[in-house]
Amino acid sequence: MKLVKSLALGGLALASIGTSFGALSPAGPYDIEVNITGSTAFRTATHAGIQASLPGYQVASNGTLPGASQATYTATVGGKKIIVRTSFSGSVGGLQALHGTGVAANFIDETAATAGATNATTVVSKLPNLAMADNSVAAAAQVDATLKNDATNYSSAQLGVIPFRFVSSPTSGLTNVTNCGFRAGILGVGVKDFFIQDTGAATPYDGTFVYFTGRNSDSGTRLVTFAVTGFGIGSLPYQFKVTVTGPYDSAGYKGTITAAAPFAINVANGAPNAGNDGESSGGTVAKVITAVNYDTFVVKDETGADLGSGPFLTYLGESDSNAAIAHGAVELLYNGVKFTASNIKNGSYQFWSYEYAFSKGVDSTFFTTLTNNIKANDLLSGYRLTDMKVSRTFEGLPVTPL
């Protein structure tokens, strides 16, 4: 399973490197325009699905694919000029952008981008018309009944299963996250002893504090985590903003912490208190969690007072957690169960949700082609629906056998 995923991911990375370095072609106006926002955790499979739907595509992005949060693709398919833009910022935020009259998002500007570029920065504001969401709770909360009942403008597809992991700082000594431990830790009162699997052996108590970092309220990963652990999707966490600088390893991981304190108040983004906010991308969190000097760096509280040193702990989708673990982060059990394909499929490991695509006016034929191609690449970000032996209605509810 892991070998297949690695080979597929390697192929995707190679396929994403353009050989043309002129302006993106074809130029507009376009017959089909798709502006995708939403889930960052499923972006690897989404990029693969886009590429499979646009033979001969050209692309410009703000980072190396498939990890880039923003990319713009152009192609001519069947005589139609097509453009697909992506700007991933989180499932909840993506659905809110699609909801009602819509909220504009920034996408790579195809008129200013160079084909093959991985450092494109010029953006254009567009209304999203397709949102990726990795949770049914967010879908139910954000997509209004009017939109759902409008068969002309609304389409949806359940794409696959996306699993999540808890990971911690390198060589942290942590081994396990229980629901109870998570609920304590995310409120800022977790110590190492809460996150060490009970083996029955006598071990000395370790009261070193464990500091949580994570995503903002636009994130479906955050919403799923809060639902599955019983913390509550509307509950406010106490998370730490970790600033990391170089030197890094060759992939930009294993940096050095230069600041760590609760996220600042951000009322506009649903964070009325210090620590309520978070990062906008799982890729950012994955790099932060691999910082190497956590055991000597003194964390501060919101007043600037010293809290002491200790490991960091976070929650990530499969693709981002794979990257973090590959660069030194520690993979943790969830409620004593290991993250494995077998445990996910049979329901023993229950930290997962469904991935959806919601369309508002996207060409129906292309939407079907795109979502089928994303499903064909599910294994890059998760698991196929047909492989699951259990199901669930909402995150946090028990799974039932199929």
Which of 346, 372, 390 lies at the terminal end of a domain, its last residue?
346
Judged against a pLDDT cut of 90, whether residue 270 lies above it is answered with no
Residue 176 three-state SS: strand
**What domain range includes position 265?**
163-346
Task: State the pTM of this model.
Answer: 0.87
Q: Are 137 and 267 in a shared domain?
A: no
| DSSP, res 71 | E
**pLDDT tens for each residue of 316-333:** 999 999 999 999 999 999
| DSSP, res 68 | -
> Is 88 within 8 Å of 132 (Cβ atoms)?
yes
pLDDT average, residue stretch 44-72: 95
Which of 346, 368, 386 lies at the terminal end of a domain, its last residue?
346
Judged against a pLDDT cut of 80, whether residue 95 lies above it is answered with yes
Alpha-carbon span 95 to 118, nearest angstrom: 27
Q: For residue 10, which of 60, 49, 66, 57 has the smallest C-alpha distance?
A: 66
Q: Report residue 143's pLDDT band, with 50, 70 and 90 as the boundaries.
A: low
Q: Are 119 and 258 in a shared domain?
A: no
Q: Are 340 and 191 in a shared domain?
A: yes
DSSP secondary structure string, 198-213?
--SS-------B-EE-
Q: For residue 52, which of 287, 369, 320 has the smallest C-alpha distance?
A: 369
**pLDDT tens for each residue of 169-186:** 999 999 999 999 999 999
The mean pLDDT of the chain is 89
Q: For 81, phi and psi rounded to 5 degrees?
A: -85, 125
> Is 370 within 8 Å of 204 (Cβ atoms)?
no
Q: Are 177 and 317 in a shared domain?
A: yes
Alpha-carbon span 216 to 89, nearest angstrom: 10
Q: Report residue 152's pLDDT band, with 50, 70 and 90 as the boundaries.
A: low
Q: Are 359 and 243 in a shared domain?
A: no
Judged against a pLDDT cut of 90, whether residue 357 lies above it is answered with yes
**pLDDT tens for each residue of 10-39:** 334 333 333 345 689 999 999 999 999 999
Q: Report residue 94's pLDDT band, with 50, 70 and 90 as the boundaries.
A: confident
Give the count of domains, the chain. 2
